[in-house]
Structure 1
């Protein structure tokens, strides 16, 4: 079976009027261009997407005045990248970036530097076979095995504790309405009231009392949108470590170095 053709969206914009502390610490205007492992954050994410079989286009959502700067940072041979002006919130940014796209869609963030083609392919298999929407997660054990300081907050379900991997899949234009849950800005583990607004009181109560497994929780959420929503549980917990602050920056830098060493050994 051939690999499905898909479009990827990378969310790279900065919140209006907010100076990102990590960007400020590294002397740059946007977090997406903070250097790590010899490259800006966003380049790691884009390269993983471009290396995934079936990629058609990568659409980067960012402020228009960053287009030329980001274009210059990407591989010179890249012809599959477009830029989309950022909207006032994540939901509208996703809607704008996916307008006119028919077919599977992958959404991730510019700080998802440990993203791999394997993770993207796993998401694609889910949204082209059993679900309309996929949400990538990793268990607490997998995350802390990857790096003991990788994450400090986890969602607790009946079956396990999980961390989000900032990787989402939509089976097509019909499934994009689920992006409405991003309107408040995400970060549900840090800001529980956003979770309440996104999934509803009953679902939050069931989650807090650990009466729902991850799979059942997402299935109940899917009923709110009349969509099939399924988890994609990634074995490599490093996928849940995005670059949010200096702590996670240092964790990701260590893991990127380990990956580079492993690849060099294979090449040798």
Structure 2
């Protein structure tokens, strides 16, 4: 594997926060009686504000862009300036899905970019620093993953979506790094796959039947999957960074996730 670049080369970054909503019928927003899922309070603090606070405390981040349909909700957040640590907070219109929003944002904001989500309520600056330091210098894009052994050792009852490769099972950590303009091709591939999510045969045809079969049987290596994605994205080089932080795999997609996050935060308070 190519060595990671010195962290000094990954400074002055723009961070995109994906905060798109499913609209007024979003089940999480309805469940917690808020106008937008990103405003759900976790430990008494809106999730979006928690994410902005973590990004504001990360020295590598120079600007924060929240991708959302309702920019007024961002600017009305209490303590926004303090949370952002003086860094500018901008909004950009969501485009209907995460992949479409990223593709649209790439036309406005040049790489390199860090991307995370508004429901990444436990995000910590040290996770971001570790991730950026570990991204290989020759990668056009990278994503953060956590092994199931690490996640389940701390949270044995958590229910996560596992990506199962021959090396083991991984959970996504809602952290991405788009290093170069070539990452646009990966974002376009993501958009294409997302558009095919209700047409599994077409999706399998796009990705390749052999790769799909090997994945189904547990024979596909993570490195082979990344190489295949790169080949489908005009030769862009995709990389994965294994995170040693179990909580990095937790986002708040359902009420049980919120309960888990609040239990973890309460345990932290008791231990200090």
Please state which band the TM-score falls in when normalised by the shorter chain: 0.7 to 0.9
Equivalent pair of 1:107/1:168 in contact (CA under 8 Å): yes
Kindly report the root-mean-square deviation, in angstroms, between the aligned alpha carbons of the 2 structures.
2.6
Choose the corresponding residue for 1:37, options 37, 43, 63.
Answer: 43
Counterpart of 1:15 in 2: which secondary structure? coil
Q: CA deviation at 1:260?
A: 4.1
Q: CA deviation at 1:46?
A: 1.5
Equivalent pair of 2:39/2:47 in contact (CA under 8 Å): yes
Counterpart of 2:182 in 1: which secondary structure? helix
Q: List alignment gaps of at least 5 residues for structure 1.
A: none
Q: List alignment gaps of at least 5 residues for structure 2.
A: 1-5
Equivalent pair of 1:151/1:241 in contact (CA under 8 Å): no
The answer for the alignment partner of 1:26 in structure 2 is 32
Choose the corresponding residue for 1:219, options 227, 246, 253.
Answer: 227
The answer for the alignment partner of 2:18 in structure 1 is 11
After TM superposition, the structure 1 = structure 2 runs for residues 193-208 of structure 1, keeping only pairs within 5 Å, are: 193=200, 196=204, 199-208=207-216
Q: Distance in 2 between matches of 1:257 and 1:155?
A: 29
Moved more, 233-242 or 67-76: 67-76
TM-score, length-normalised on structure 2?
0.85
Task: Sort the Cα spacing of 1:200 and 1:107 in 2 relative to 1 into closer, same or farther, 3 A.
Answer: farther
Aligned residues: 258
Choose the corresponding residue for 1:97, options 56, 80, 105.
Answer: 105
Choose the corresponding residue for 2:218, options 210, 221, 243.
Answer: 210
Task: Sort the Cα spacing of 1:148 and 1:164 in 2 relative to 1 into closer, same or farther, 3 A.
Answer: same
Q: Distance in 1 between matches of 2:72 and 2:122?
A: 25
**Deviation readout 1:36-69 (Å, 9 max, x if unpaired):** 0121011111211121122121111101xx3222
**Deviation readout 1:120-140 (Å, 9 max, x if unpaired):** 223323446141111111111
Equivalent pair of 1:154/1:161 in contact (CA under 8 Å): yes
Runs of 4+ in 1 over 4 A off after TM superposition: none
